[in-house]
A and B are shown apart, each in its own frame.
Chain A
Amino acid sequence: MNELAPLPTRKAEAFRYTDIDALAGVWPIAREEILVPSGQRTSLDIVEQDEAAVARHLVIELEAGAAFDLRILNAGNAFGRIAVDVRLGEGADFTLGAAQLGRGTQTLEIVTEVHHDAPNAVSRQTVRSVLAGQAVGTYLGKVAVARGCNGTDAEQSVRAMLLDRTATANAKPELEIYADDVKCAHGCAVGELDATGLFYLESRGLTPPEAKRLMLQAFIAEAFAGAQAEESLREAALKRLEGLVCG
């Protein structure tokens, strides 16, 4: 446990963009340990959409051949931080699909460390952030491939959409590779909704908020694609998006 751990400062890389005042209110963060035994598959959906500040720290270990599917909707009304440390055994399979939907002065962050500690493991991370007002959305993601872990397949796809010029997106996909025969891909983009696309949708009768919401639904869809509870995650995200586009 972290009970005696001092409150970090923003000098610590994993807390570089955090909201220290909000963090102080929920510190220390309890470690939630999850072990997926060899050959088993399991999944977890985290939906944060309440008023209170939230900080969680998941520590997940996948034994050989285990699979874990983690989906996150980080859309609370205050501070929301979800840190995930994953260790992958041989041939293990880890999926993270996350959407962060923020407005006002919210700070939302997802901080991951994925350790490929054995060969032939797969990790796929998809993070989509939609940020309005003065919201800050952060993804810090490190993938570490240990020596000799050939056959590793790691992917990070990180995209953020800013609805207002006052919103901020931080993204740092990071790779640390000590093996030769690996496939590691990362892509990262921050942008605004396509004005031509919005006009096209509006010219067919959608109001400006409806047009934005429709494009944003499509933008975040990948985060929940293939999840067991895909439908309910999308519905929950849709409700938050409707709030975001109406200002």
Chain B
Amino acid sequence: MLEIDNLQATVADKPILKGLSLSINAGEVHAIMGPNGAGKSTLGYTLGGRPGYTVTGGSVTFAGQDLLALAPHERAAAGFFLGFQYPVEIPGVSNVQFLREAANAQRKARGEEPLSGGEFLKLAREKAALLRMDMEMLKRPVNVGFSGGEKKRAEMVQMGILDPKFAVLDETDSGLDIDALRIVGDGINAIMRKPDKAVLLITHYQRLLDYVKPDFVHVLAGGRIVRTGGPELALELEEQGYEAVA
């Protein structure tokens, strides 16, 4: 589903990704762990197409398409979703309006009929309930005044509504208390644990992986994948630290 080959990227002319390769198949959950500054978030933003993250080499193929040739909104319409480490506040724009427009923009790009107001609200209610989020919160401006945990749950509600094929979730577990972590973990499983979907979790901690069990764990350091293993690698990292393992 996602094939990253020798990806190199710079931020403000500084090389961050230095030849990263990773192959993710449909039905798989991968986790990337690594020390601060290893390039984890840069990987997420580069895949999402954020301005300022410049690809200087390598390729990324997503569902048979050259992902790097697509604009951010085209990547979304192709089924790519980026969960933000720091979800952005958009004052004055309600979640409901934003998500309905976003869902319908994606549908339009794929040549599908738009969702009616009623159909959209039904879908939003269902996904909000899955993340135990009050519908009233979705009527409020995007992420404004939300706590750290509410922002992360709102990201997962967005993911549920937009129903991507592939999601990169950048530290979706940070800022969550124990109960919220379980809710978010269950949400990720319900939305994305399907034979035709795949997930790349970027995380610092083993604890999310107790709920969303990865098939593969990678260690990212110095802009490259330096080690790959099964779920046991995360436990090993938790016990011994990056320096001993990578």
Chain A residues within CB distance 8 Å of chain B: 194-197, 199-208, 210-211, 214-215, 217-219, 221
Contact = CB atoms under 8 A, between A and B. Distances in A.
A131 B28 CA distance: 48
Contacts of B97: 214
Contacts of A208: 71, 73
Given A210-B101, A215-B93, A205 B88 contact: no
Nearest to B99: A204
10 contacts: A199-B88, A203-B50, A204-B158, A205-B102, A206-B101, A208-B71, A218-B90, A218-B91, A218-B92, A219-B92
Given A205-B76, A218-B93, 5 more contacts: A199-B88, A204-B76, A206-B102, A215-B92, A215-B93
Binding site secondary structure of chain B? helix
Contacts of A207: 73, 105
B48 A203 contact: yes
Interface of B: 48-51, 71-73, 75-77, 82, 84, 87-93, 97-99, 101-103, 105-106, 109, 141, 158, 162
A210 B105 contact: yes
A202 B92 contact: no
Nearest to A210: B105
A211 B102 CA distance: 9
Given A215-B90, A218-B90, A206 B105 contact: yes
A114 B90 CA distance: 33
A221 B48 contact: no
Contact of A206 (B73, B84, B158): B73
B109 A205 contact: yes
B162 A204 contact: yes
A197 B105 CA distance: 17
Contacts of B105: 205-207, 210
Contacts of B90: 197, 200-201, 214-215, 218
Contact of B73 (A197, A202, A221): A202
A221 to B, nearest CB: 6
Contacts of B102: 201, 204-206
Given A195-B51, A214-B101, A205 B73 contact: yes
Given A200-B87, A208-B73, A221 B82 contact: no
Given A218-B90, A218-B93, A199 B72 contact: yes
Contact of A205 (B49, B84, B106, B141): B106
B84 A200 contact: yes
Given A205-B105, A208-B73, A196 B88 contact: yes
Given A214-B98, A218-B93, A219-B92, A205 B103 contact: yes
Contacts of B50: 199, 203
B48 A204 contact: no
Contact of B162 (A195, A196, A200, A205): A205
